[in-house]
Structure 1
Amino acid sequence: MVKLTCAAVGVGSVFPVDIGISETVDDLKDKIKEQEPGLVYLMQIC
């Protein structure tokens, strides 16, 4: 398990996300959506 520190530029929030070493970017996006539902609109841009 790896802990990443994620930041949404312009939003001002920094938060940790735990993700397995073999997980994909899509898995990371899903975890961010679960943890920070207010950022879902940003995920549609990426």
Structure 2
Amino acid sequence: GRLLANSLFRRDYPVIQGALLILIFAVMVGNLIADILYAYADPQIRYN
């Protein structure tokens, strides 16, 4: 949070890119886990 905000004000682009990469990766992993849990909770869901 604070690292990204400070980097935005200082225009420290490598830190911004790294922080966003980590944030996006965390969101993707969270979505994957939620998708797996939905399939486990509702067996009627079928993925092809």
* TM-score between the two structures when normalised by the length of structure 1: 0.35
Name the structure with the higher helix share.
2
Bigger radius of gyration among the two: 2
Name the structure with the higher strand share.
1
Of structures 1 and 2, the one scoring higher in RCO (CA 8 A, sep 6+) is 1
